[in-house]
Amino acid sequence: MQADEHLAPLAQRDLMLELDVTYACFVTLRFNLSDIFGHDIAFLAAVVVLLGGAAGAHAQTPGSPAAANGKAIYEQRCVQCHGAGGRGDGAAAPVLIPRPRDFTSAKYKLRTTETGSLPTDDDLIRTIAHGVPGTSMPGWEPFLSPGEIAAVATYVKSFSPRFATERPQGIPTVAASIPGAPSPQSIVAGKAVYEKLRCSACHGTDGKGTGAIATDLKDDEGRPLPATSLAEPWTFRGGATPQDVYLRFRTGMNGTPMPSFVEAATDGDLRNLAAYVLTLARKPVWDMDAAELTAFYQAQAAEAARDPVRRGRYLVQSIGCTFCHTPVRADGSLVDGMLFAGGQRWRAVPFGDFVSYNLTSDKETGLGGWTDDQIKTLVTRGVRRDGSRMIPFPMPWISYANLTPADVSAIVAYLRTIPPITNRIPPPMRPNIVSYLWGKFQLLILKKDLPLLAFPGNAGSGGLPAEVPTKAGGA
């Protein structure tokens, strides 16, 4: 084995395996993650970060004045996602959709200020306290005192020079007006505003994207950012009260295609529009009875059957394939340019070292030369092409055995779309009989949790792109 001092194992990965299994179970139970967390969200990393943060939190006395040091709080709680330099490039960032905010750009979605303007301090504080629904951005109110939240908000501002030179442009009417309950008239009027302002171009005629003409929208960084489904207001980033929704129309969402409509409509129109939009909500699963749930999941299965690649992408992102089958840097972040190229080395003590496989469609070194059935057999039964069987970890194929056949086909359909990357993986390791029996004895008889470690770098033939440092902490 090569010199390991540069390759300190990534401790948090143990936790990930357990979480992978948990997520596989979620999927198996057909628990609808998207209801709670929004579409396509890979929040595994977020959970790891949170658990890591929560574990670290015991050492600190929340609320003590000494702790209200914005930088220290940031480095304990926010850095994993937002990055040490505030550029939105923390260790967990590559797997998060949407990505954590890049604070150096100072483009904030959730404001009470004019479009293009900076947010107020209160806006930042509110976001940090309540989090951003439908994304991995947690609400920090349960973990941080008001003083700590204010301190970390001040620190976040320090990443952009704009806060030193510009003032947020508040909107007087916004602060003043609290709307009454929406009336039937306001809803009818709001529907007309929806048509007049052509919201359907992006959100579809029904608010769910049906008939939308602008469908491959991107954020200012060029990353795909689909228009929100208006049927799922619990995923609205800025909240789902009539006032929240009105505010998004009034202020727009900086850095995204969602514009401000201040020029195009009156304040009254926008309030009516908010009332109408909130009538588009479907019932959330947690309010459904058994018959409604059955119908809901049948409709979802039909949707998945219509677009298996989309379903497969969702599964692959949420049940861990991406995490384990991509090389990682020393800080644990995935190497973006090598997504799914495999080569991540895992150590399952005492069984041995296992290198994850190249899942790209490369014919020579990836899945390009595999048949659909070979992939399915591997994923659900752990049986390789040569008929040998994998042990049930690191790759948790035992959990995947519970996936429905339609979901397994969807996973294969998505994997087929991954562009080829040449990265030849060393032949699989077969544990020797002594360590195999010793491992099994410890697991089953001594009931021990055995260490599972992951190592940074690429153990395949393809090397790493030049941007990736080879030493921990190196430049």
247-266 residues in contact with ligand HEC (CB under 6 A) are 248-249, 253, 256-258, 261
Rule CB under 6 A: say whether 100 interacts with ligand HEC.
yes
Q: How far apart are CA 454 and CA 91, in angstroms?
A: 15
Scanning residues 437 to 466, which ones bind ligand HEC (CB under 6 A)?
Answer: none
Candidate segments 72-80, 161-169, 293-301, 464-472, binder of ligand HEC by CB under 6 A: 72-80
Q: Which of 335, 379, 410, 464 binds ligand HEC (CB under 6 A)?
A: 379
Please, what is the minimum distance in Å from the beta carbon of residue 294 to ligand HEC?
Answer: 26
Task: Assign 3-class secondary structure to the chain.
Answer: CCCCCCCCCCCHHHHHHHHHHHHHHHHHCCCCHHHHHCCCCCCHHHHHHHHHHHHHHCCCCCCCHHHCCHHHHHHHHCHHHHCCCCCCCCCCHHHCCCCCCCCCCCCCCCCCECCCCCCCHHHHHHHHHHCCCCCCCCCCCCCCCHHHHHHHHHHHHCCCCHHHHCCCCECHHHHHCCCCCCCHHHHHHHHHHHHHCCCHHHHCCCCCCCCCCCCCCECCCCCECCCCCCCCHHHCCCCCCHHHHHHHHHHCCCCCCCCCCCCCCCHHHHHHHHHHHHCCCCCCHHHCCHHHHHHHHHHHHHHHHHCHHHHHHHHHHHCCHHHHCCCECCCCCECHHHCCCCCCEEEECCCEEEECCCCCCCCCCCHHHCCHHHHHHHHHHCECCCCCECCCCCCCHHHHCCCCHHHHHHHHHHHCCCCCCCCCCCCCCCCCHHHHHHHHHHHHCCCCCCCEEEECECCCCCCCCCCCCCCCCCC
Q: In what order do the strands lie in the sheet with 352-355?
A: 352-355, 345-348, 452-455
Q: How far apart are CA 201 and CA 259, in angstroms?
A: 13
> Nearer Cβ to ligand HEC, position 89 or 468?
89
> Nearer Cβ to ligand HEC, position 291 or 320?
320
Neighbours of 170 (CB within 10 A): 16
Q: Which of 72, 280, 390, 401 binds ligand HEC (CB under 6 A)?
A: 390
> Nearer Cβ to ligand HEC, position 67 or 293?
67
> Nearer Cβ to ligand HEC, position 169 or 298?
169
Asked if 98 and 108 touch (Cβ cutoff 8 Å), the reply is no
Please, what is the minimum distance in Å from the beta carbon of residue 465 to ligand HEC?
Answer: 22
> Nearer Cβ to ligand HEC, position 329 or 376?
376
Scanning residues 111 to 150, which ones bind ligand HEC (CB under 6 A)?
Answer: 124, 127-128, 132, 135-137, 140
Please, what is the minimum distance in Å from the beta carbon of residue 174 to ligand HEC?
Answer: 15
Q: How far apart are CA 207 and CA 224, in angstroms?
A: 19
Rule CB under 6 A: say whether 410 interacts with ligand HEC.
no
Q: Which of 346, 351, 414, 455 binds ligand HEC (CB under 6 A)?
A: 346
Q: Which of 118, 324, 335, 459 binds ligand HEC (CB under 6 A)?
A: 324
Please, what is the minimum distance in Å from the beta carbon of residue 128 to ligand HEC?
Answer: 5
Candidate segments 25-33, 228-236, 294-302, 464-472, binder of ligand HEC by CB under 6 A: 228-236
Q: Which of 19, 41, 156, 468 binds ligand HEC (CB under 6 A)?
A: 156
Rule CB under 6 A: say whether 357 interacts with ligand HEC.
yes
Residue 196 structure tokens: 């007049």
Q: How far apart are CA 202 and CA 192, in angstroms?
A: 16
Please, what is the minimum distance in Å from the beta carbon of residue 31 to ligand HEC?
Answer: 17
Rule CB under 6 A: say whether 48 interacts with ligand HEC.
no
Rule CB under 6 A: say whether 49 interacts with ligand HEC.
yes
> Nearer Cβ to ligand HEC, position 324 or 468?
324
Rule CB under 6 A: say whether 101 interacts with ligand HEC.
yes
> Nearer Cβ to ligand HEC, position 249 or 455?
249
Task: Assign 3-class secondary structure to 65-79.
Answer: HHHCCHHHHHHHHCH
Rule CB under 6 A: say whether 365 interacts with ligand HEC.
no
Rule CB under 6 A: say whether 394 interacts with ligand HEC.
yes
Rule CB under 6 A: say whether 354 interacts with ligand HEC.
yes
Q: Which of 23, 42, 94, 108 binds ligand HEC (CB under 6 A)?
A: 108
Q: Which of 12, 80, 272, 333 binds ligand HEC (CB under 6 A)?
A: 80
Rule CB under 6 A: say whether 21 interacts with ligand HEC.
no
Please, what is the minimum distance in Å from the beta carbon of residue 17 to ligand HEC?
Answer: 5
Please, what is the minimum distance in Å from the beta carbon of residue 337 to ligand HEC?
Answer: 20
Candidate segments 61-69, 178-186, 303-311, 378-386, binder of ligand HEC by CB under 6 A: 378-386
Closest Cα partner for 13 from 253, 315, 326, 247?
Answer: 326
Candidate segments 28-36, 58-66, 230-238, 294-302, binder of ligand HEC by CB under 6 A: 230-238
> Nearer Cβ to ligand HEC, position 293 or 381?
381
